[in-house]
Structure 1
Amino acid sequence: MSKHQVRMDNRELLEIEGVIEVINFSDEQISLATELGPLLILGEDLNIQQLNLDNGELIVDGYINGLDYSQDDNGDGILSNLFK
């Protein structure tokens, strides 16, 4: 498993490592597949400032209201489904 890190500065800048894919995004939410499973970023005026999937890096600015990690229906993360 690759490294997964999340760094936030004053709820206005979010840097994430271990991003596999951006599934969906708007100015209020960004849905990601990460090394640790699905991640939903909630906020206001969200903007993807930088995305490098080769390195698994994502930088988001805006006002961050929350981060929500989830699992799929059977309790496994997204990576377990990829390798079945």
Structure 2
Amino acid sequence: MDDKISTRIMGHKVELLDRKILNLQGIKDVHSFNEDTVILETEMGLLTIHGEDLHINNLNVEKSNLNITGKIVSFAYSENVDIRSKGGSFLGKMFR
């Protein structure tokens, strides 16, 4: 059972430093972003990040890593909802 827990923890990781730097692992897709809100699809469901002056600095699709800077106000998970039916993801729109 411990193996299952450690595998799951390695699949998705959130690291918040001083509410200014957010490092994420286990990112599947970036659905939308602006200076106030970033919506991501992660291994654990949709993650919505709210803040001020948010910037996506490093996105590594191959390693599923993402770095966001700015003032992080909150972040919350929700169940995977088929957001693609509502217009598609940011990356999908970018490569059309």
4+ residue runs over 3 A deviation: none
Instruction: Mark the CA change 1:27 to 1:54 in structure 2 (over 3 Å): closer, same or farther.
Output: same
Deviation at 1:53, TM superposition (A): 1.2
Query: How far, CA to CA, are the matches of 2:75 and 2:55 in structure 1?
Result: 15
State the TM-score, normalized to the length of structure 1: 0.82
Query: How far, CA to CA, are the matches of 1:46 and 1:16 in structure 2?
Result: 14
State the TM-score, normalized to the length of structure 2: 0.72
The count of corresponding residues between Structure 1 and Structure 2 is: 74
% of aligned pairs identical?
A: 35
Structure 2 residue 48 is matched with structure 1 residue 43? no
The structure richer in strand per residue is 1
5+ residue gaps, structure 2, are 1-7, 84-96
Deviation at 1:30, TM superposition (A): 0.3
Query: How far, CA to CA, are the matches of 1:72 and 1:11 in structure 2?
Result: 25
Partner of 2:41 in structure 1? Answer: 33
5+ residue gaps, structure 1, are 79-84
The structure richer in helix per residue is 2
